[in-house]
Amino acid sequence: MIAIYILWLRQLKRFIRKKTSIVGALGQPIIFLLAIGFGFGPVYAKAGGGNYIQFLAPGIIVMSVLFTSIFTGLEIIWDKQFGFLKETFVAPVFRFEILLGKTLGGATVAMIQGILVFLITLVAGFQPHLASLPLAFLFLFLVAILSSALGAAIAARLDDMQGFPLIFNFLVQPLFYLSGAIFPIKNLPPVLDVITKINPFSYGVDGLRFAFSGVNVFPPVLSLGVLCTATLIVLAFGTYQFSKVQL
């Protein structure tokens, strides 16, 4: 438990020291809100969808959490190259504890970013059900844990930083765009329908949208179950990958 706390605290200190990264991480969500939210808003309203900002905001919040926490993997590669991970591995702790500490640290950082983006969406005109904030933050935390664990599991087998952006472009971004964050996932073509339903982040977006607006495609209990199951699977996969790391 001490190792988990130390690794969690180290991740948090890194985030606090990098003030520019805090500001920079808010740039993409703001652009999405302004360009896509207000740009496609009239089209979405004419199609009978209502207020597009109301629909888009939960997806943008999930985007900020997903993209921030997935870069936990980049920090693991950095630690591997500069020897800190080797020092951690020789400590008398289980590698699962190392993975869990880094995952919780990345998820905490992502939650802070998500809360900041949530406040920005309020300025943009988003009107959530504030009574459901605890449920919303539960969904958001599960998304943060899942994506942070995924980033750590991927990075466990990478030896250079150049490979991580490629995985980000070919895996993480499609997971986001096919999660229902930007467009409704009802009445999709069969192939896209299957992809969105096996994408665990679809359940995160849908659960957050339900908590904030009362609109959902999947039952909230199902969304919670899928996120929890996917997180456990990814943590198990990450532990296996960490057990194979040779430094």
- Please give the mean pLDDT across all residues of the chain: 81
Cα separation of 66 and 25, whole Å? 11
Cα separation of 167 and 86, whole Å? 24
CB atoms within 10 A of CB 183: 18
pLDDT at 101 over 90: no
Domain carrying residue 63: 2-243
pLDDT in tens, 6-29: 555 565 555 555 555 556 667 778
pLDDT of amino acid 139: 95
DSSP secondary structure code for residue 76 in this structure:
H
pLDDT of amino acid 227: 94
DSSP 124-193: HT----GGGHHHHHHHHHHHHHHHHHHHHHHHTT--STTHHHHHIIIIIHHHHHTTTSSS--TT--HHHH
* Confidence at 218, pLDDT banded by 50, 70, 90: very high
Residue 241's nearest CA partner among 194, 233, 27, 19 is 233
Tally of domains in the chain: 1
Lowest mean pLDDT among 103-107, 154-158, 199-203: 154-158
Lowest mean pLDDT among 26-30, 115-119, 144-148, 205-209: 26-30
pLDDT in tens, 132-183: 899 999 999 999 999 988 888 888 777 777 777 777 778 888 888 899 888 8
